[in-house]
């Protein structure tokens, strides 16, 4: 069993798949803290978790022509200037289970928990690339990452991001060695992972082994044959993966974490809680909540940290305390967020359905009963 050496996990996690391990925290735990505690941070693995020795670990960075290739130990990485940032990581498949209700899709049945937030510390990718002699260039180029996790044929997890993002100090792409003040847990990439603020989880390569700059995107399955969006009209017979760009920045997202669907709430007053986030550093400026399926709206109170302009890498938690209209037996609670580009979420799932079940960001709806 290649998974026999996987780490022990927190019992509160809701497991979507055991081998490889994929799990999400239950919603009410997810928004209990602005920073997600490491043991309940959602986990998305495609392969067995490698067991790497921090003393012999080396990160290989392929040098630029005229530059030099680097073989960096953990100590070497710690010698680069240290940066610490709060970043929310979301899987492209978050909320996929709602797409499945429209029509079958291929993928793990994530509910609202394939998203979490941590404080990450590490070296900046741009500093490491500069030391290897890389510069921004006029022609298109991509920074390719390879993980040290691999399948029985030796194929490793891989992904890439555009060189322009990697070299931009304002994009704050990190080679992270710390998560919430601790060395990275094994499930989250020990000893080093990439953190690409504002970008889909799939590019945050864990157990990072190799970095190179190429004229084309990574040839990895996960860059080219997965994590792409398509029209609802496209099925597995007709899909042409080369016709769509890889997902990088994610669209605006929000979800209700309390109360839970099907729950009974007290009459009088109801407290509604949730999270909201947008990709590309776009800040969430407002969350609207409805108790009547979207006929009337109230504005929720945003908690969590105010963020820097164009660097809103982390989510906002939000809540609304609202009177339950007298005589109501049930409530259709809905939330929707707006980001600073005034981007909004679509009201229903069907028009954004896609065969892989990614980018599921329709208004989130929860149906509850009111106790008499």
The yes or no reply on residue 25 touching Mo ion (CB under 5 A) is no
Q: Residue 145: name its binding partner from ligand MTE, Mo ion, none (Cβ under 5 to 8 Å by kind).
A: none
Decide whether 206 or 356 has the Cβ nearer to ligand MTE.
Answer: 206
How many angstroms separate the Cα of 93 from the Cα of each of 98, 214, 357, 365? 10, 27, 6, 18
Which residues are near ligand MTE by CB under 6 A? 41-47, 89, 91, 147, 149, 157, 187-188, 201-202, 204-207
d(CA 223, CA 209): 17
Binding-site partner at residue 207 among ligand MTE, Mo ion, none, CB < 5 to 8 Å by type: ligand MTE
- The least CB distance from residue 372 to ligand MTE, in Å, is 42
Cβ proximity to ligand MTE, 117 vs 319, nearer residue: 117
* Residue 275 CB, nearest approach to ligand MTE (Å): 15
Alpha-carbon distance 274 to 287, whole Å?
Answer: 10
Position 282 contacts Mo ion (CB under 5 A):
no
Between vectors from CA 23 to CA 109 and to CA 30, what angle results, nearest 5°? Answer: 100
Burial class (CB in 10 A: 0-12, 13-18, 19+), 264: exposed
Which one of residues 91, 118, 199, 302 is an interface residue with Mo ion (CB under 5 A)?
91
Residue 202 touches Mo ion, criterion: CB under 5 A: yes
**CB of residue 79 to ligand MTE, shortest distance in Å:** 24
Q: Using the minimum distance from each CB to Mo ion, give the nearer residue, 218 or 307.
A: 218
Nearest CB to ligand MTE, comparing residues 185 and 294: 185
Least distance CB 276 / Mo ion (angstroms):
19
Letter string b/e over residues 103-128, b meaning 16 or more CB atoms within 10 A of that residue's CB: eebebbbbbbbbbbbbebbbbbbbeb
Q: List the Cα angle 93/37/282 in 5-degree steps.
A: 50
Among 27, 44, 315, 338, binds Mo ion (CB under 5 A): 44
CB of 118 or CB of 287, closer to ligand MTE: 118
HSE at residue 100, side-chain half, CA atoms within 13 A, is 11
The nearer residue to ligand MTE, 36 or 290, going by C-beta atoms, is: 36
The distance of closest approach from Cβ of residue 97 to ligand MTE in the complex, given in angstroms and rounded to an integer, is 16
N- to C-terminal Cα distance for the chain? 53
| Residue carrying structure tokens 């860059």 | 223
**Sites of contact with Mo ion (CB under 5 A):** 44, 91, 201-202
């Amino acid at each position: 069993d290649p998974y026999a050496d996987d780490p022990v996990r927190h019992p509160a996690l809701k497991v979507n798949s055991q081998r490889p391990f994929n799990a999400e925290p239950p919603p009410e735990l997810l928004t209990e803290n602005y920073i997600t505690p490491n043991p309940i941070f959602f986990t998305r693995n495609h392969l067995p978790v490698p067991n790497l020795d921090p003393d012999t670990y080396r990160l290989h960075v392929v040098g630029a022509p005229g530059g030099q290739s680097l073989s960096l130990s953990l100590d070497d990485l710690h010698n680069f200037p240290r940066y610490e940032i709060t970043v929310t990581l979301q899987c492209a498949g978050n909320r996929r289970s709602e797409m499945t209700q429209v029509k079958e899709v291929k993928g793990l049945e994530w509910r609202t928990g394939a998203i979490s937030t941590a404080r990450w510390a590490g070296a900046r990718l741009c500093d490491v690339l500069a030391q290897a002699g890389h510069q921004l260039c006029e022609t298109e180029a991509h920074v390719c990452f390879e993980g040290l996790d691999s399948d029985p044929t030796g194929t490793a997890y891989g992904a890439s991001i555009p060189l322009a993002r990697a070299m931009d100090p304002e994009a704050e792409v990190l080679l992270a060695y710390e998560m919430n003040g601790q060395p990275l847990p094994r499930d989250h990439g020990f000893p080093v992972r990439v953190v690409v603020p504002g970008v889909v989880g799939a590019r945050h390569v864990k157990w990072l082994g190799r970095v190179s700059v190429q004229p084309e995107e990574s040839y990895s399955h996960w860059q080219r044959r997965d994590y792409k969006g398509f029209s609802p009209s496209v099925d597995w017979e007709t899909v042409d993966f080369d016709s769509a760009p890889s997902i990088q920045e994610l669209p605006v997202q929000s979800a209700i974490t309390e109360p839970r669907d099907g729950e009974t709430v007290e009459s009088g007053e109801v407290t509604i809680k949730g999270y909201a986030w947008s990709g590309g550093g776009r800040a969430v400026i407002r969350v609207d909540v409805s108790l009547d399926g979207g006929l009337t709206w109230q504005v929720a109170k945003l908690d969590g940290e105010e963020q820097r302009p164009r660097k809103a890498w982390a989510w906002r938690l939000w809540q609304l305390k609202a009177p339950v209209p007298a005589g109501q037996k049930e409530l259709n609670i809905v939330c929707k967020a707006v980001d600073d580009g005034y981007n909004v979420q679509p009201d229903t799932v069907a028009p954004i359905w896609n065969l892989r079940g990614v980018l599921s960001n329709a208004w989130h709806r929860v149906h509850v009963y009111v106790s008499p």
